[in-house]
Amino acid sequence: EPHPPVVPSSPLPSKTCDVVPAERPRSCCGMAVAGLRTAKYHLPEWHRLNAGVCYEAYTAGEQAERGRAEAKHLVKHAAASAQRAQGYSKATLGQRLQDIHFWRVELQKEIMELDAETNLLAAQKLRLERALDATEVPYSVVIDNLECRERRQPPDLVIDEVEKQLMKEVDLIRDIRDLLKRTIIQAATQIRSNRIQKENCELDWSDKVETYNIDDKCIGYCSDSTDVQYHPSSVKFEENASTPKSWAQFSHDNISRAEQEKLASVQLRSLINNIIHDASEDLRVQRAAVNEAFDSHCRELDDAKLRLENHLQQILKDIGDEEANIVNLKKAIRDKEAFLKVAHTRLYDRSFRPNVELCRDEPQFRLVSEVEELTVFLEALKRKLMESEQNLKNLEETRMKLEKEIAVKANSIFIDRQKCMGYRVRYPVDLEVASYQ
C-alpha cells in the first residue's frame, strides 16, 4: 500500500528576550520586603514565558492540524484500501467458485457416467449368470446321452465317433462354464471397483458442494452484513491445508482413476460380449457335429441292421433248403438201404445152393458188385447227411447270432435315435439368446 503523504514541519520564529543584569531593580527596603520580591517575575521573564506559551500553543496547533490531515488522508486511504482488498477478495472468491463449479460439474459428470457404466456392466454380469444357467441343460443332456449309450450291448459298446464328439462336447461345456464363472468373478470385482471409485468421486463432489456453498455464502458478506463478527483465531493457515495445486490434483486424480475404471469396465463388457458370442458359436458348432455324428451312426446302424436282416432272410431260406436236403438224403439212404437189403437177401439165399450149384456165376459177381456199389453210395450219403446236419446246425447258430445282432442293432438304434437324439431336442437353440432371457 502507498504511504500517506507527510506534511513537512516548518520551524517557528524564535523570540529571545535579553535581560540586562544592571537594570534589575535594586532592593531598597532591605529584609522587610525580601519575601514580596522573591515571589514575583520580572517583566522580561513574563514576556519570555508568554512567548513560550504562545510558541507551544502554535506548535500544538500545527501538530494537531498536521495529525488531522494525516488522519483524514489515512481514513480515506484505509477506506479505499479496504474497498480494494474486499473487492479483490470477492473477485478471488468468485474465481474460486468458478474453479469449484468446474470440478464439481466434472465430478458429477464422471459420477453419472461411471454409474451408467456400472449398470451396463451389471447387466452384462446378469447375462453371464443367465448364460451359465443356460449351460446346465446342455450339460445334463450330454451326460444323459453318455449314460444312455453305456447301456448299449456288445459288440456295439464301442468308442465310436459319436462317443468322441460327446466327450468333446462335455469338455467344451465344462471349459465354457469355467470361463463364465471366472468372468462373473472378474465382472463382480470390476463392479466393486467402479462403486468404490464412484464413492470416492461422490465424497469429493459432496466436499465441493459444501465448499461451494460456504464460499458462495462468504462472497455475499459485506461491511453492512449483520452476521459478521471477529474471529481472530481463524487468521492463520491450517497445517493440514492443501495447496491449490494439490487441491486440483486431487480431483484430477479421482477423475483420472474413474476414467481408468470406466475404460476397464467398457473393455470388460466388450470381452463379455465376445465370450458369450464365441461360447454360443462353439456350442452350436459342436452340437451340429454331435447331431451329424448321431445321424451318420444311426444310418450306419440302419444299414448294418438291414444287411443283417437280409442275411437272416437268406439264412432262413438256407435252413429250409438244408432241412429239405436232409429229408431227401434220409429218403435216399432209406431207398438205398432197401436195395442193399434186396441184394444181401439174394446173396444170402444163393449161399444155400447145394453142392456144385454153389457156383461163382455171373449173377453172383453182379450181386457182389451191386452190394459194394450200394455200400459206397450209402456211406457217401451218410457222410453227406452228417455234413448237411452240421451245416444245418451252423445255419441255426448263425441265425441266432444274426437275430441277436439285429436285436443289438435295434437296441443301439433305439438308444441313439429315440433316447439320445430325442432328448437332445431340449438343447437350447442359442446360448447368446438364452443370456437375454
Quote the cell numbers at residue 316.
Answer: 432262413
> What are the structural domain ranges in the chain?
305-351+360-436
- Of 127, 437, 122, 132, which is closest to residue 283 (Cα–Cα)? 132
CA–CA separation, 44 and 21 (whole Å):
11
Give the model's confidence band at 43: pLDDT under 50 very low, under 70 low, under 90 confident, else very high.
confident
pLDDT digits (tens, 9 = 90+) for 181-197: 999 999 999 999 999 99
- Which whole number is the average pLDDT over 95-106? 92
Distances (CA, A) of 128 to 80, 141, 142, 263: 70, 21, 21, 20
CA–CA separation, 393 and 319 (whole Å):
9
| For residue 13, pLDDT beyond 90 | no
Answer for the pair 388, 329: CB distance below 8 angstroms, yes or no. Answer: yes
- Which whole number is the average pLDDT over 3-13? 49
The total number of residues shown for the chain amounts to 437
Does residue 389 or residue 14 have the better pLDDT?
A: 389
Percentage of the chain lying above the pLDDT 90 cut: 51
CA–CA separation, 390 and 270 (whole Å):
76
pLDDT digits (tens, 9 = 90+) for 315-346: 999 999 999 999 999 999 998 889 889 988 98
Return the top range by mean pLDDT from 41-45, 177-181, 361-365: 177-181
Percentage of the chain lying above the pLDDT 70 cut: 89
What does the pLDDT read at residue 22? 45
| For residue 32, pLDDT beyond 80 | no
Give the model's confidence band at 82: pLDDT under 50 very low, under 70 low, under 90 confident, else very high.
confident
Q: 30: alpha, beta or left, given left = phi > 0 and alpha = psi -120 to 50?
A: left
Q: Mean pLDDT across the chain, nearest whole number? A: 86
- Which whole number is the average pLDDT over 69-82? 88
What does the pLDDT read at residue 38? 53
Give the model's confidence band at 11: pLDDT under 50 very low, under 70 low, under 90 confident, else very high.
low
Q: The whole model's pTM is what?
A: 0.71
What does the pLDDT read at residue 433? 75
Give the model's confidence band at 31: pLDDT under 50 very low, under 70 low, under 90 confident, else very high.
low
Give the model's confidence band at 37: pLDDT under 50 very low, under 70 low, under 90 confident, else very high.
low
| For residue 111, pLDDT beyond 90 | yes
Least trusted range by pLDDT, from 103-107, 110-114, 218-222, 302-306: 218-222
CA–CA separation, 24 and 415 (whole Å):
162
Least trusted range by pLDDT, from 169-178, 215-224, 400-409: 215-224
- Which whole number is the average pLDDT over 226-241? 74
**Residue listed under C-alpha cell 474465481:** 95
What does the pLDDT read at residue 15? 47
**Residue listed under C-alpha cell 444357467:** 133
| For residue 199, pLDDT beyond 60 | yes
What does the pLDDT read at residue 33? 53
pLDDT digits (tens, 9 = 90+) for 48-67: 888 888 988 989 888 999 98
CB atoms within 10 A of CB 374: 19
CA–CA separation, 200 and 107 (whole Å):
10
> Does 428 sit behind a cis peptide bond, omega within 30 degrees of 0 on the bond before it?
no
Answer for the pair 204, 242: CB distance below 8 angstroms, yes or no. Answer: no
Crossing angle of helices 43-134 and 244-350, rounded to 10°: 10
- Which whole number is the average pLDDT over 123-133? 92
What does the pLDDT read at residue 258? 94
What does the pLDDT read at residue 102? 94
- Of 151, 137, 160, 174, which is closest to residue 293 (Cα–Cα)? 160
What does the pLDDT read at residue 104? 93
Quote the cell numbers at residue 407.
Answer: 436285436
| One-letter amino acid of 201 | C
Answer for the pair 430, 130: CB distance below 8 angstroms, yes or no. Answer: no
What does the pLDDT read at residue 83? 86
